[in-house]
Homo-oligomer: A and B are copies of this chain.
Amino acid sequence: MSWTLTADDLPDLARGATLLGTGGGGDPYIGMMLVKQVLGDRSITILDPDDLADDLFVIPTAQMGAPTVMVEKIPAGFEPTLALRTLEEHLGRTADATMPIECGGINSMIPLIVAAETGLPVVDADGMGRAFPELSMETFAVYGVHGSPLAIAGERGERVIIDTGDDDRQMEWLARGIAIRLGGVAHIAEYAMSGADVRRTAVPRTISMALALGRAIRVAREEHRSPFAAIADTLSTTLYSHVRELFVGKVADVERRTTEGFAKGTAVIWSADPSSSERLEISFQNENLIARWNGEVVAIVPDLICIVDHETAEPITTEGLRYGQRVRVLGISTPALMRTPDALRAFGPTAFGLTEPFVPVEGETAAAEAADTFAAGQAVRA
């Protein structure tokens, strides 16, 4: 069912989106401020995927770049809408709605800026079901909708259109080159598609899930209940039904570099008990990719690896990690449509150069059951 979102919802949405950012995705705070400024006391219509007309024309909008740059290079604000308008002009067709390509991090907010500026509704779905570092890592692409033509807008009004046919990796490669030359961040419109395509290829209801997660954490804190139980309760009603505490400890080391347009590195978390030698090591490329507990893989992409404050469950991005922070690390299962062989080729371990195979965070048995349900065509509509 479609619903409306107001400025009051934004802090909860930002918190949930940061959790789904799995360490990356860019801090939604700046995006939230931009939405608030444009939206005022109006509201944004959020369309449920089930309500979309088959021929509704949807143009997703987003920001691309290294999260480490995004927090320092504030957009002027007009860029995402300029990207949308540039793509509309190129296609000779106006959008009926926009949509996130990525529900985690700042890209939960970019389509809302466009909606606030243009009055367009926003589809409650995305193409990553979390955050990923590259534009080709989309369920859209996995299931046959391609990113090209893509439009880029820069803060000085620069406009670029890239068309690589159905080669989404080449699209990412060229667009990243432009983003780097625009200073490390760019705003884009891509993966234009019909309402029918959204239903077939998108991860559904991820805006509402982010909002529900952020709200559940806040309300649990206010009511002095466990925010971790609240996260588990909320997820149990979604396609992301399993959550597991991977580790509790303190940040011992963060090695991070911004290279080739990405933030890459490793975080090491030690047990809070000084007599213990237990440690969790997390490698990231913008987002957390793999968690090794004393060397053994306990979670791996595309499943979510989320570092949160050990008491408040406030999610912590990679660029927010500091030595000595007390944290919990959560592993969250992803929907079955994000774990098919085609999906794993696009954004599973090998897509990041990892040699470790994908292992579901909830264990093989539970995952097999979920996959059976997906194969029967049910889980995507849960």
| Interface residues in chain A, defined as those with a beta carbon under 8 Å from any beta carbon in chain B | 90, 156-165, 167, 170, 173-174, 176-178, 180-182
Contacts and interface: CB of A to CB of B under 8 A. Distances in A.
Contact of A158 (B90, B159, B170, B182): B170
A126 to B, nearest CB: 26
Given A174-B181, A178-B178, A181-B174, A161 B158 contact: no
A181 to B, nearest CB: 4
A157 B165 CA distance: 8
B161 A161 contact: yes
A180 B177 CA distance: 8
A160 B158 contact: no
A243 B90 CA distance: 49
A174 B178 contact: yes
A158 B178 CA distance: 14
Nearest to A170: B158
Contacts of A178: 174, 177-178
Contacts of A158: 162-165, 167, 170, 174
Contact of A156 (B161, B162, B170, B181): B170
A260 to B, nearest CB: 11
A176 B163 CA distance: 17
Nearest to A157: B165
Contacts of A156: 164, 167, 170
Contacts of A170: 156, 158
Contacts of A160: 160-163, 174
Contacts of A165: 157-158
A182 to B, nearest CB: 8
Contacts of A181: 173-174, 176-177
Contacts of A182: 174
18 contacts: A156-B164, A156-B167, A156-B170, A157-B165, A158-B162, A158-B163, A158-B167, A158-B170, A159-B162, A159-B163, A160-B161, A160-B163, A160-B174, A173-B181, A176-B181, A177-B178, A177-B180, A177-B181
